A and B are shown apart, each in its own frame.
Chain A
Amino acid sequence: DAGVIQSPRHEVTEMGQEVTLRCKPISGHDYLFWYRQTMMRGLELLIYFNNNVPIDDSGMPEDRFSAKMPNASFSTLKIQPSEPRDSAVYFCASSLYGTRRDNEQFFGPGTRLTVL
């Protein structure tokens, strides 16, 4: 079975440019999470969705960040305009509610973002 798929794997952009990160969760999973990982702050939850609806976006750093989930198999995280401090690895994860193991989140390979 395919795991969580993220694209691109690497993104290098210049300050002020718009960046869009993409995620395809595991088929059938109904929760989708976006995380950011940096050396200084570790793994931070940015936002998560249930059945395509945003549930908690309290981790989104500021208005420059937005996330959407137009359908069950696709989500985007957009940064506009990007800043050098946004440089990090961004992970998408998914899980399936309603089973004994419904807390188990499965992570994608991540997108390494560098903003120059």
Chain B
Amino acid sequence: GQQLNQSPQSMFIQEGEDVSMNCTSSSIFNTWLWYKQDPGEGPVLLIALYKAGELTSNGRLTAQFGITRKDSFLNISASIPSDVGIYFCAGRRGTSYGKLTFGQGTILTVHP
């Protein structure tokens, strides 16, 4: 099925550094979502984006809906140890209400 290409696959950073990750697709998406998954838990919604070009923040997290509607970006500023986890992008195409396509995830490790 339709795949989202999420990169990087993993990141090892020092506490205090900024983090950037992105998702790209060959198809247009109408909605982009970013989730975080902690070990042993389900994904938790961080940010949802509904319009091309939209820039939305949630604390130290900022996400953008690419103007081509084929990509999205997530930035984390001043990382802290509790940012550790797996970050997933997800997208919905116009004709597929309910069906989200997920990226493969970015594993983030933050060294104190």
Number of B interface residues at 8 Å Cβ cutoff, please give it: 21
With A42-B105, A43-B88 in contact, do A103 and B100 touch (Cβ < 8 Å)? yes
The distance in angstroms between the C-alpha atoms of A42 and B88, with both chains bound, is 10
Partner of A55, one of B42, B98, B102, B103: B98
Q: How many A-B residue pairs have CB under 8 A?
A: 51
A64 smallest CB distance to B (angstroms): 21
Known A103-B48, A104-B48; judge A91-B98 contact (CB<8 A).
no
Q: SS class of chain B's interface: helix, strand, loop or mixed?
A: loop
Measured in the bound complex, the distance between the Cα atoms of B50 and A103 in whole Å is 9
Q: Is the pair A48, B98 in contact by a Cβ cutoff of 8 Å?
A: yes
Question: Size class of A's contact patch?
Answer: 20 to 34
Question: Is there contact, CB below 8 Å, between A97 and B97?
Answer: yes
A25 proximal to B (CB < 8 A): no
Q: How far is the CB of B64 from chain A (nearest CB, A)?
A: 17
B42 adjacent to A31 (CB under 8 Å): no
A39-83 contact mask (Cβ, 8 Å, vs B): 1 or 0: 000110100101000011000000000000000000000000000
B interface with A by C-beta (< 8 Å): 31, 33, 35, 40-45, 48, 50, 88, 92, 97-100, 102-105
Using a CB–CB cutoff of 8 Å, the interface residues on chain A facing chain B are 4, 31, 33, 42-43, 45, 48, 50, 55-56, 91, 93, 95, 97, 100-110
List the 5 closest A-B pairs by CB distance, nearest first.
A107-B42, A43-B102, A103-B31, A107-B43, A110-B42
